[in-house]
Amino acid sequence: MHTLNLSFPSARFVMPRRTMTVSALAATLLLSGCALPTYQQVRMADDEAPVMQGPGPRHNGTPLDSSFACLSHRIVEQGKGRAPLSIAVGDIKDYTGKYSQGDGNVVTQGGSLMVYSALGKLGGAIDVRERFDTRVAELELAYTDRRQLGDGNQHALADEKGQRAVPWLPYYGGSILRSDYYIIGGLTEVNYNIQSGGIEAQVNQIGPRYRVFTMNVGADLRIVETKTLRVVRAVSLQKQIVGREIGVGIFRFFGSNLFDINAGSKDLEPVQLGVRTTLEQGVLELISTVTQTPAGPCMEGAKMAAAEPAASAPAPMPAEPAAPAPAAAPAAAATPAMPEKTAAAMTSLDVVFEENNTRIAQQSATAAETVATRLRAGQGVRMALLARENENDQNPARRDALTEERLQALRTELAQHGIPPSQVQVQWRPTPGDTTVHRYGAGYRLLARLHIKP
């Protein structure tokens, strides 16, 4: 936020040359120190006034996007041959009670939506079940039960009246898929002015000022086994949000003229982005627990520490002898003990493309940056190029052409991060006439395998 306030007397006057020099110098310093943003005005229709137009919409990324991509890959690699876990989300409410007359609720009321978006970043590593807003589905099931719901076709129905065609959709139950776990919790803390400070110096009421401000938000989440209502793990997280103010001002008389000139800049970290990042950190830890996939190596770039050995502890529960978790617990407990630097020199990464398109999907948007980071650390990268299994164009020649375009798009993206195309080696891809769907995980097909060596 930038502010500029110039106030002069309303009476007509002739300023002395010295006063004009001081005024011009002050204005120049202020305007050069505060770069005010400029946006274009667009006239939407000939008879309408022009409207201000700012930046366009974009995907709402967070600092943890690469961590989700990494954890997704680890879950898929560890769970090969097994169906992905089904996760639902309950109501993540605002329990802070903080409300402002001017701005309304201080923190978002859409915590559940943020958690759903976080789960979506895991791609096909898990299945997400809708439990937060089921009104449309319940209404259509009610229509079906009353034989009111149809699709415009006739359907064969065998009942006591014999075989006949009916316009409604027959329903025999069992269409709603169960969930294995669900995430519940709430936003529990908003603490203002944890720490603030600053400095202001004036000589003859002319001088600069600098202030800093810190607040925090907190969330408490838990993941519950749907069948038994056993709380598998609970986490409590907080994030500090910082802001600053920089400015300079003049308030004094020069001769008989009063000058009141203020300029400055105010910057505040977005509060709701802080809430989203906090909830995403919780989702990473909770999913890491139920999948028994340590997320610590995936969050090495994050400043928020996660105690990964403790994440495996809740899995072996004496009350659940039939559950598969205890059998896998020794492997999960052993994994964090091996430092990541002692692993193989090649790390693995999945890159998902949008359906029937050369654009890299949002869940893999940070893939090129991740590869560049790994190469700088001296690690090579094994990369799997993926697309949705149900892509509608199954013609082998067109699929091969699309794969080639996707490879080129990826090389271009990597080149923007300093990785030359010659460093990207294709290890495998289907032959041009191959009609096989090479399945990879749940709901994906494998397009190619690449090696990028440091």
> What's the pLDDT score for residue 326?
36
> Residues of CATH 3.40.50.10610 domain(s) within the chain?
65-133+177-319
State the CB neighbour count (10 A cutoff) for residue 146. 9
> What's the pLDDT score for residue 16?
52
> Residues of CATH 3.30.110 domain(s) within the chain?
344-452
> What's the pLDDT score for residue 12?
42
> What's the pLDDT score for residue 388?
83
> Phi/psi zone of residue 91: left (φ > 0), alpha (ψ -120 to 50 degrees), beta?
beta
The CATH architecture of the domain made up of 65-133+177-319 is 3-Layer(aba) Sandwich (3.40)
> What's the pLDDT score for residue 182?
97
Nearest to 325 by CA among 336, 339, 311, 337: 311
Nearest to 187 by CA among 112, 241, 256: 112
Task: Determine the CATH number of domain 344-452.
Answer: 3.30.110
Q: Given the DSSP bridges, would you call strands 104-105 and 127-129 parallel, antiparallel or unpaired?
A: unpaired
Backbone angles phi, psi at 8, to 5 degrees: -125, 160
Question: How far, in Å, CA of 131 to CA of 224, rounded?
Answer: 14
The pairs formed by 131-140 with CB atoms below 8 angstroms and a separation of 24 or more are 131/88, 131/89, 131/90, 131/179, 131/182, 132/88, 132/89, 132/90, 132/91, 137/176
Structure tokens at 438: 């090479």
In this structure, what DSSP letter does residue 271 have?
Answer: H
CB environment 409-433: b (16+ within 10 A), e (fewer): ebbebbeeeebeeebbeeeebbeee
Nearest to 218 by CA among 237, 240, 246: 237
Collect all residues with Cβ–Cβ distance below 8 Å to 239 and sequence separation of at least 6. 216, 217, 218, 274, 275, 277, 278, 281, 304
pLDDT by residue for the chain (454 residues), tens only, comes to: 555 454 444 444 444 555 554 555 555 554 444 555 667 888 888 889 999 888 888 888 888 998 999 999 889 888 776 888 999 999 999 999 888 888 888 889 999 999 999 999 998 889 999 999 999 999 999 998 898 999 899 888 887 778 888 898 888 788 889 999 999 999 999 998 787 777 777 776 677 777 888 989 999 999 999 999 999 999 999 999 888 888 777 665 566 666 667 677 777 788 999 999 999 999 999 999 999 888 888 876 454 433 333 333 333 333 333 334 333 333 333 333 333 333 345 678 888 898 888 989 877 888 888 888 888 878 888 899 988 877 866 788 888 899 999 999 999 999 998 999 999 999 999 988 888 888 876 677 889 999 998 8
